[in-house]
Amino acid sequence: MTTRLRRGSVPALTAVLALTLASFTLSAAPATASTTIPIHWTVNASTHLKSLNMDVVVPPGTFDGTIDLATGNLTGTLSLPPATKKITLFGLPLASATFAITENGPISGHVDLATMKATVTASFNFNIKQASLSILPWLNLVGNTCTGSKPVTVTMSGPVSLTGASTFSSTYTIPPFKGCGLLITPVLNLVIPGSGNTFSATFAPPAP
């Protein structure tokens, strides 16, 4: 979930294009071949892990990049903080886990200015930073190198809004894990990897 999960990911990045282009379209600013606009947006994201039937809400993150108003091309970086999820059983705390969606390279995208439809591609890593039992909160069961065995690449397309914030969502597949310890890695690979996980994010200008 993450992402930070689109970003990875990450399909919600199409909203970045819409919100930025709307600002300059509505102000009637003419685009030229050299018009490159810096952007900085707040990102609120969440992910649903299908195999665990678990929702993970990611703390607010940021997207920083540029848009070429002449071509509609977008490049930038998405930063999502790690998200910690408490796991309970019959209302009692059982364990906690901290998930992170981190970029595997710059995000790229394009918007069709005639139709206001955007396509964005992102590659990210899905990591488990920490997992511990409630009775042993100081013991990290997965160590410091627990990550997916390969990056996840997501390409999304869809319409973008010309006003306000925009929310996008998509599905993604979590690969098998590696580096989580000889005992824990096979256990995680039995219960977490798989398809049908969803990622949703809302992109908007920072609050004044």
Which position has the higher pLDDT, 160 or 37? 37
Residue 52 is assigned to a structural domain of this protein: yes
State the Cα–Cα distance between residues 145 and 55, nearest whole angstrom. 23
Indicate the DSSP class of residue 207.
P
Cβ atoms 12, 43 nearer than 8 A: yes
Residue 27, pLDDT > 50, answer no
Strand (E) positions, the chain?
36-49, 54-68, 73-79, 83-89, 92-103, 107-112, 117-133, 147-148, 152-159, 166-174, 177-178, 194-204
| Helix H or strand E segment including 23 | helix 14-26
Structural domain containing residue 112: 11-203
Residue 191 is assigned to a structural domain of this protein: yes
Residue 5 is assigned to a structural domain of this protein: no
Which position has the higher pLDDT, 121 or 50? 50
The tally of domains found in the chain comes to 1
CATH number of the domain that residue 129 is part of = 2.40.160
Residue 126 is assigned to a structural domain of this protein: yes
Residue 65 is assigned to a structural domain of this protein: yes
Residue 205, pLDDT > 60, answer yes
* Digit-coded pLDDT (tens) for 179-194: 999 889 999 999 899 9
> b/e string for 150-168 if b means 16 or more Cβ within 10 A?
ebbebbbbbebeeeeebeb
List the structure tokens of 175. Answer: 């690969």
- Tell me, what's the pLDDT at 175? 93
**Reported pTM:** 0.73
* Digit-coded pLDDT (tens) for 114-149: 777 777 888 889 899 999 988 888 889 999 899 999
Residue 208 is assigned to a structural domain of this protein: no
Residue 131 is assigned to a structural domain of this protein: yes
